[in-house]
Structure 1
Amino acid sequence: MTFDFVIVGGGSAGSTLATRLSEDPNVSVCLLEAGGKGTSILLRAPAGAVAAVPGYGKLFNWAFKTVPQSGLNGRRGYQPRGRVLGGSSAINAMLYVRGHKSDYDDWAALGCDGWSWNDCLPYFKKSENNERGGDDFHGASGPLQVSNQKSPRPITHAFVQAAANRQVRHREDFNKGDTEGVGLYQVTQFRGGAKNGERCSAATGYLHPVMDRANLTVITKARATKILFDDKRAVGVAYCQGRTDKEVRASKEVILATGALQSPQLLQLSGVGRSQDITPHGINMVHELRGVGQNLQDHLDFTLTYKTNDTDNLGIGLAGAVRLTAAMFKWWRTGTGMIATPFAEGGAFLKTDPALDRPDIQLHFVISILDDHARRLHLGYGYSCHVCALRPHSRGTVFLQSGDPLADPGIDPNFLSDRRDLETTIKGAKLSREILQTEPLASYAKRELFDVTDNMTDAQWEQHIRARADTIYHPVGTCKMGTDDMAVVDPQLKVHGLQGLRVVDASIMPTLIGGNTNAPTIMIAEKCAYMIKADYAP
């Protein structure tokens, strides 16, 4: 089979690209996705993420692990990634967050022409259908449903008020370029109609409504194993379905959209990258490119957690079970209630030093006890506050563990290798705890978990962080955009030194933005779809 464009990966970027490129009926598009269609009730129901994120049976989830992290006492970190149409947008907390405007201006200053905040804003707007309507910062006619939360818990409002009582400004909208403040997150969720209250992944927003286009072919359960080259030009993709090996050809371009952990892996499996990472596995070199798999950045997350007598949140107990059963029927009827929750209902962007020009930590306030990515459960009810340093200095790598294309990639985030990240996390944890111990939230606390106590020294905070911290699911940077020697793609997202090949996903971010990564990834795909159309315009 031959198509104009072959897209590998049907996640946030791939679903967006396939939809936008196939808008032209004269263009043929093939999308390869390793997972399924993404229509399960566990994905449509927002609270179903609690079943998908832990990764048991790799349900909708690659459930990767890192190599042992010396900065985390030798522990292996957990890296859940969506394995389904919609990718990680099908299993995430649905938070719609763009980051700070300076994050994008930083990209432009690094040589990524055309990627400043003002350059990117039109594509954020193009993607979204915001419940609050269109204005200078938001769109109202895009495929991605961006909504106010259906039923935020009273305890979440108490968190917001507690932060306000600590002189943190209340912010109604985190997405106008300046993020500092506390408030409720907007979410990617349907409102009204037959899908009221359901998750709006990139697949359900963009792709599923257009799957019947004659010029769009979506192949699920298709694991890409190699990019096919004719000299320095990408001409197709080899993939397997079950035990059958197949190929698909691209007359114009192959586009990788498999994310920051698997796009560099597929390049390396195809002979593109650093020779020392590739040839030891018996793979022939196609093109030396030093940046492939380098520059991995991720948000390391530390959690403060409390038990509570309040049962109006997600917990394990008889009262909660009865309420959860009733909530299922309520959500099915009205799209509201506990099943509609993103879990991380409230949040804040704060400065650990007032002299900073932008927030350096982010908080996610979660209406449950979260321990080890919900893989370790606790009886009773509680709440958690996640804190992460927004712009980590530590850099890691993604590498081949073997020449087997079906093997997991080697993942080394190199967490806390730069001590500045630890120092920021300690400051953020202290600041977060001050908010959690402020009324009206303080009255909800029954007891604090994990032996966190008052008046801990920085050395004691360090012990806690190294013992329990892990990712909050924002890996980026491993095929970074730019013009320097370590750049993998140029500002048009074309792979340096090769023809007919682009990378379009979070791996192209030269630096990690100060916030969640789903909305920026969709924006990247919207912007690149426009560039591709312009390249092939008659």
Structure 2
Amino acid sequence: MLPLALISQTGPQRVATGGRFLQASRARFSLLSRCKCNPGTKNRGCSFPGLSSADQYRTFSSTASKRNQQTPSYSYVVVGAGSAGCVLANRLSEDSHESVLLLEAGPKDIVLGSLRLSWKTHMPAALTYNLCDDKYNWYYHTLPQDNMDNRVLYWPRGRVWGGSSSLNAMVYIRGHAEDYNRWQREGADGWDYEHCLPYFRKAQSHELGENRYRGGSGPLHVTRGKTNHPLHNAFIEAGQQAGYPFTDDMNGYQQEGLGWMDMTIHKGKRWSTASAYLRPALGRPNLKTEVRCLASRILFDGNRAVGVEYVQEGQKKRVFAEKEVILSGGAINSPQLLLLSGVGNADDLKQLDIAVVQHLPGVGRNLQDHLEVYVQQRCTQPITLYKAQKPFQMVKIGLEWLTLFTGYGATAHLESGGFIRSRPQVTHPDIQFHFLPSQVIDHGRVASKIEAYQVHVGPMRSTSVGWLKLKSTDPLDHPILQPNYLSTDIDVWEFRQCIKLSREIFAQRAFDAFRGAEVQPGPEVQSDADIDAFIRKKADSAYHPSCTCKMGSPSDPAAVVDSQTRVLGLEGLRVVDASIMPSIVSGNLNAPTIMMAEKAADIIRGRPALVDSGVSVYQPPTLETQR
């Protein structure tokens, strides 16, 4: 969701330290030859002169037994300092007898220790700057989509401390309790709602205080919007006039209905996992971080993961894990690294001349995402964020935020939203709304030229499932992404309902004082065929790729990790991020990913699982209709 940007081998050496940092000097592994990069080739990696792609892989695949004896060793090596990786780095390093190395492909999220110098990342209203800039962003694109007029869709993913929690719209949504009960049925034993809710609470510190559903003392600060904008109030009121309930906490007892959204914003600043988890732990002597280092492969001794090979500043380096390697690169990078390392579908790996370490056909499969569209309406009153985009106002807003961390720069403006059911017999909400008192064009790259408001709307549990595959053995070569959007009839029907139900809400009397002409789909788009054509032309990703390293039973041929997050058939290797979701949740992904990392940290540390049985969850009085 995109609001307006107001401011444009053998195992590791066993040493007497028992897993603490080796104090010996660190070996530097130089490349066979300085890599030659073509700066004009977007999203391509470096090539090694005189070596074919297969030769490069074999060179990178030298056995762990050949490692230099000075290579550093840690208890845990975590790959990816994103929404999950920062959580793991913090929690695992709480045990002072363990050592943790956190590797991040991108830079730190802060310049010279100053949030103000890093305003593009930390000012909530400035989020589209990084969403559309490859400095902190992997900048992925899908294959042309057959069911969307052959369009190529843009997928921003964080490549910076905090990962996508440093780029996202800061909406804190957990999903529905039934999502996690479904995970249990899908083979993720111990991941039902009563086992997940305690970890949502553990992570969270909600400004409204602790209760049965909210946490009050966790590192992740969660707040509500402060603008009290009349258009947000109109949206919530219009929902009730259309027959939908009001919910005072869509992350609590009742998700269903319209109400005020929770946000990961604290004291006017984005509260990413880098801010919540990583920075508070940086002073620990047993936690080390490295940035601008791209993991190229996992090192194995037989079927045991013993380390990671990565490239940093043009040098190939290795690091070893005495206990475990943990992948937290997200739904694209984690399966990509597994595939580069010989873990995946054997037939696909052999086609790229990659030696097969473990045949796991589920790696990169089961790709799921949320697709959404913007329903936009002109506003007859000059109260939208349109004027905030004027140069003088932008400077004024920026100065207030830089000096006080307050004002229109201190919010992402997605302060209201909701969840409803698309049709009778649906047991829990399958459509999500995000309301914005402004107009967004092309992911925020184009400034609005009119007073307008919009709702982001889309189905939450799409039946269209895709995949990703390696394009080559080059770790910097983006994988092939095929989400297969709108490939089922029910997905097309549900999206059509999204348009119709959004229009119904905007037609309520609460908007009478503000409603101008419909901008999109537009008054001429009325028939089902016309609505379907509009969706094919305008729908875009909500930036929620997931499920590509599915958690499930070892008997499930599509599963990649078990319910303990261990990669099946291998030792010393886990995946902890949104990729291990068995199926996508009914809402945004940042909060569930943080929860999963909190729970996984307890699993890794051998701690008893937290559980909260008997928590009540809203059940609609009838499944015939909600109006």
After superposition, the Cα gap between the structure-2 partners of 1:133 and 1:535, relative to the gap in structure 1 and judged at 3 Å, is closer
* Inter-partner Cα distance in structure 1 for 2:493 and 2:375: 17
* Inter-partner Cα distance in structure 2 for 1:302 and 1:9: 30
- Between 179-188 and 442-451, report the one with greater CA deviation: 442-451
Contact persistence 1:399–1:411 (CA under 8 A): yes
Q: Which residue of 2 aligns with 1:180?
A: 256
Q: Which runs of 5+ in 2 are unaligned?
A: 1-71, 111-117, 609-627
Aligned: 1:212 with 2:290? no
- Give the secondary structure class of the aligned counterpart of 1:7: strand
Q: Which residue of 1 aligns with 2:346?
A: 275
Q: Which residue of 1 aligns with 2:379?
A: 308
- Give the secondary structure class of the aligned counterpart of 1:448: strand
Contact persistence 2:374–2:520 (CA under 8 A): no
Contact persistence 2:141–2:153 (CA under 8 A): yes
1:331-346 superposed matches below 5 A: 331-346=401-416
After superposition, the Cα gap between the structure-2 partners of 1:285 and 1:138, relative to the gap in structure 1 and judged at 3 Å, is same
- Give the secondary structure class of the aligned counterpart of 2:335: helix
Which residue of 425, 448, 452 maps to 2:518? 448
Which residue of 75, 95, 103 maps to 1:32? 103
Contact persistence 2:375–2:521 (CA under 8 A): no
Instruction: Give the letter for the 1:363 counterpart.
Output: F
1:305 is displaced (CA, Å) by 1.4
- Give the secondary structure class of the aligned counterpart of 1:75: coil
Which residue of 436, 440, 452 maps to 1:366? 436
1:126-275 superposed matches below 5 A: 126-190=202-266, 196-275=267-346
- Give the secondary structure class of the aligned counterpart of 1:6: strand
Instruction: Give the letter for the 2:325 counterpart.
Output: V
Contact persistence 1:426–1:461 (CA under 8 A): yes
Aligned: 1:378 with 2:448? yes
* Inter-partner Cα distance in structure 1 for 2:590 and 2:264: 10
* Inter-partner Cα distance in structure 1 for 2:363 and 2:228: 42
Which residue of 356, 369, 372 maps to 1:298? 369
1:441 is displaced (CA, Å) by 2.3
Which residue of 340, 350, 369 maps to 2:420? 350
Q: Deviations over 1:497-531 (max 9, x none)?
A: 00000000000001100000000000000000000
Aligned: 1:461 with 2:531? yes
Q: Deviations over 1:465-501 (max 9, x none)?
A: 0011111011111000001111000000000000000
Aligned: 1:414 with 2:484? yes
1:335 is displaced (CA, Å) by 3.0
1:326 is displaced (CA, Å) by 2.4
* Inter-partner Cα distance in structure 2 for 1:479 and 1:510: 8
* Inter-partner Cα distance in structure 1 for 2:148 and 2:452: 25
* Inter-partner Cα distance in structure 2 for 1:310 and 1:15: 44
* Inter-partner Cα distance in structure 1 for 2:573 and 2:205: 31
Contact persistence 1:343–1:366 (CA under 8 A): yes
- Give the secondary structure class of the aligned counterpart of 1:102: helix
After superposition, the Cα gap between the structure-2 partners of 1:497 and 1:395, relative to the gap in structure 1 and judged at 3 Å, is same
* Inter-partner Cα distance in structure 1 for 2:451 and 2:105: 37
Which residue of 525, 528, 536 maps to 2:600? 528
Q: Deviations over 1:241-272 (max 9, x none)?
A: 12111111101000000001111111001110
Q: Deviations over 1:353-393 (max 9, x none)?
A: 24321111001112221122113433233222111111010
* Inter-partner Cα distance in structure 2 for 1:460 and 1:138: 43
Q: Which residue of 2 aligns with 1:321?
A: 391
Instruction: Give the letter for the 1:304 counterpart.
Output: V
- Give the secondary structure class of the aligned counterpart of 1:513: coil
Contact persistence 2:549–2:580 (CA under 8 A): yes
* Inter-partner Cα distance in structure 1 for 2:101 and 2:490: 44
1:423 is displaced (CA, Å) by 0.6
* Inter-partner Cα distance in structure 2 for 1:318 and 1:522: 33
Q: Which residue of 1 aligns with 2:51?
A: none
After superposition, the Cα gap between the structure-2 partners of 1:451 and 1:294, relative to the gap in structure 1 and judged at 3 Å, is closer
Contact persistence 1:151–1:336 (CA under 8 A): no
After superposition, the Cα gap between the structure-2 partners of 1:466 and 1:27, relative to the gap in structure 1 and judged at 3 Å, is same
- Between 76-85 and 374-383, report the one with greater CA deviation: 374-383
Q: Deviations over 1:59-107 (max 9, x none)?
A: 3111100011101110001100011110111111111110110000000
Instruction: Give the letter for the 2:602 counterpart.
Output: Y
* Inter-partner Cα distance in structure 2 for 1:214 and 1:203: 18
Aligned length: 529
After superposition, the Cα gap between the structure-2 partners of 1:442 and 1:53, relative to the gap in structure 1 and judged at 3 Å, is farther
* Inter-partner Cα distance in structure 2 for 1:319 and 1:89: 24
1:437 is displaced (CA, Å) by 2.3
Q: Which residue of 1 aligns with 2:194?
A: 118
Contact persistence 1:290–1:485 (CA under 8 A): yes
* Inter-partner Cα distance in structure 2 for 1:453 and 1:471: 24
* Inter-partner Cα distance in structure 1 for 2:381 and 2:229: 11
1:336 is displaced (CA, Å) by 2.8
* Inter-partner Cα distance in structure 1 for 2:285 and 2:178: 41
Q: Which residue of 1 aligns with 2:578?
A: 506
After superposition, the Cα gap between the structure-2 partners of 1:403 and 1:311, relative to the gap in structure 1 and judged at 3 Å, is farther
Q: Which runs of 5+ in 1 are unaligned?
A: 191-195
Q: Which residue of 2 aligns with 1:48?
A: 126
1:535 is displaced (CA, Å) by 7.2
After superposition, the Cα gap between the structure-2 partners of 1:20 and 1:311, relative to the gap in structure 1 and judged at 3 Å, is farther
After superposition, the Cα gap between the structure-2 partners of 1:442 and 1:373, relative to the gap in structure 1 and judged at 3 Å, is farther
1:340 is displaced (CA, Å) by 1.5
* Inter-partner Cα distance in structure 2 for 1:318 and 1:356: 40
Instruction: Give the letter for the 1:473 counterpart.
Output: Y
Instruction: Give the letter for the 2:537 counterpart.
Output: A
- Give the secondary structure class of the aligned counterpart of 1:5: strand
Q: Which residue of 2 aligns with 1:14?
A: 85
Aligned: 1:60 with 2:136? yes
After superposition, the Cα gap between the structure-2 partners of 1:318 and 1:231, relative to the gap in structure 1 and judged at 3 Å, is closer
TM-score norm. by structure 1 comes to: 0.95
Q: Which residue of 2 aligns with 1:487?
A: 559
Q: Which residue of 2 aligns with 1:4?
A: 75
* Inter-partner Cα distance in structure 1 for 2:239 and 2:407: 25
Q: Which residue of 2 aligns with 1:193?
A: none
After superposition, the Cα gap between the structure-2 partners of 1:497 and 1:314, relative to the gap in structure 1 and judged at 3 Å, is same
* Inter-partner Cα distance in structure 1 for 2:607 and 2:362: 25
1:342 is displaced (CA, Å) by 1.7
Instruction: Give the letter for the 1:169 counterpart.
Output: P
Contact persistence 1:311–1:320 (CA under 8 A): no
1:290 is displaced (CA, Å) by 0.9
Which residue of 80, 86, 102 maps to 2:162? 86
1:151 is displaced (CA, Å) by 2.0
